[in-house]
Structures are given as structure tokens and as C-alpha cells.
Amino acid sequence: MKVLIPGPLRSYTGERREVEASGATLDELLRDLDRRHPGIRFRMIDEQDSIRPHMRIFVNQEQVRGIAVALHPSDEVIIFQALSGG
């Protein structure tokens, strides 16, 4: 399925804004994304398998709070990364 990648994480995808990944759950999709683009999952998911506080993940324009969410092949996943600073 289609996954939209935010600018700060595009260095992992060869600067591509949109990539493909698959999985029956968001967790499986993020693991597949990490297999294709090593290191990207750690930037989004912490050691307790929780979405990092500065990350937002949307499935079909609905924000999800955990990675156990079921996915369908036609779903669109959008990843946002909050920027901070002074």
C-alpha cells in the first residue's frame, strides 16, 4: 500500500515522498517499511512499540494511536513528524 513519508524521514527512502509497504497491521507495515528502508521504524516507534510523541500516523486520514491497527491493501498511510525548536 501507499505510504507518504515526511521530509525529515526521506533520507531513509532515497528522498522519495511516497513509498510502498505491506502488512495486515500497522506494525507489520512499519516492519516491512524498515526492511525496505533500514532504520526508519526506530525514528517512529520507540523501544516499547509505541508511536513516538513527536510522530503522527494516519490511516485513511484518521489518526491512529497504536500499531496494532488492522490494515487493508487499499489503505493509505500518512506519516507526519512534528518539528520543534525555538
| pLDDT tens digits for range 46-79 | 999 999 999 999 999 999 999 999 999 999 999 9
**Where along the chain do its domains lie?**
2-81
Place of cell 506519516: 79
Name the pLDDT band for 21 (thresholds 50, 70, 90). Answer: very high
* Spatial CA neighbour of 37 closest among 23, 19, 59: 19
CATH no. of 2-81: 3.10.20.30
The predicted pLDDT at position 85 comes to 58
Question: pTM for the full model?
Answer: 0.91
- In contact, 45 and 52? CB cutoff 8 Å: yes
pLDDT at 86 over 70: no
The predicted pLDDT at position 82 comes to 81
Concatenating the DSSP letter of every residue in 21-36 gives ---SBHHHHHHHHHHH
The predicted pLDDT at position 17 comes to 97
